[in-house]
Structure 1
Amino acid sequence: MSRLTHITRLLVAVPAGLALASCSTGGTDTAAPAPFTSAPAPSTSVVTTTSVETTTSEETPSSSESPAQEAECAALPKDPREQYPTGTAPGRMPNVDGTDYNYWIADIENHYDPCAPVSWIIFRGSLGDERGPAGTGASITDGIAFYINGKPDGEMRTFTSIENVALASPDTVVMTWGERTGATAEGITAHYSVTLEADPGGIQAIGGEMLEFTDRWYSPYGMYMLGTYDLKF
């Protein structure tokens, strides 16, 4: 092979090699992918917290939204406020033992409330027979009737001098009264105080001078019939 021919082949081969190198380099730059950066995943805790808060807000009512309970009021055949108006003297009450003893009403202090856990009516008057009051100092006495949820707790009971009755709480009262311990002329010489609670089974003494109260409260001799009276002397 001549020298000229060899040189010619070299000149042809070099550009081809450069072309291949150039294509190889350019192809690599073009095909190389850009670095991949993933977006941060949503925070699961944020979504969960929001969901719980929304559910709690919708399903759990506040205490202020609870419906209030309405009080039940008694409806008696005869309304004690009309039967025993304050400042009146409607007549007599026979004793429950069936004897000729009667309580004659001279005045009334009506504190009856058909919707209250406990209320009461105080009677001022004296003892006597069917013809009228005895008219003696020893016959003068007071009486009281308690009502639980608007309904009478039995009959009226007598205490010589009822001095005060006041609420200590919606279902509790404090009652003070006086009794004679000597001659009639000496007047009231002993004073007592008792705390009473309105119980479904009746008035119960829960504090103070309970024995003195129960001795009189349960005595049939001092118990007179509510609602049975007349205006005849």
Structure 2
Amino acid sequence: MKKNALIIGIRNEDSLCYFIAKELKKIGYEIYATYLNEQARADVERVAKEIGIVKLYRYDASLDEDLESFTEKFIEDGIKLDALVHGIAYSSDPGAKLNHSLLEVCMEEFGEAIRVGAFSLVEVVGKLIHQFNEEAGIITLTSRLSRVAVPGYNVVGAAKAALDSIIRGLAQSLGDLKKIRVNGIAPGAVATKSLAKIGNVLDILAEAKRRSPLKRNVAKEDVGRFAVMILENTSLTGTIYSIDNGMDIMG
């Protein structure tokens, strides 16, 4: 029987979720995915055609109505899940750089960042809990920048810190409930459009390469392959794994 995976966070061929979806497809998973809105739909449909994604669902994690509509349709389709990949973060403007000061962030923006970047995982899992098979795997994309201060990361760093705590909490709750495993992946600096929003992307990549023990930047393919390994290993839960060429050990 084929396994099913739901991928939340594919935006285009540049996104890490795209590489995770490709690796899951290689080992026989049926892939289902979401797209943010009509503006983003064409890019995701192009990716869906390439990979062979079965069905797409509209889901903007900042909108209650999208959460309800998406999860209701998914349940109606009767899909049983063996894997969930959560890879979304907050940006009020998809084309904006996230380089303003944390002191300039308002309560509304902060709350939406936490909801989209962190609590959305809780919301989706809660709505779809009965669709998960026993020993299913969940992974979410977090960042070491939840633990360190980096100019430009501001409110997204706070959301990732909340997400790290949610990983541990869900691992305990879902393990007790259905032996569902929850883990996080913290990639190092990867050349994506999301990183470009912070600004100074070339400097960030060069510094990461210089400081890492392996003296190279992270390959998106490595993130995809490691994600599959975590999802397939039924002994791993509640842990955040750094995929960063050793950057995390450096002082």
Normalised to the residue count of structure 1, the TM-score between the two structures is 0.24
Larger Rg: 1
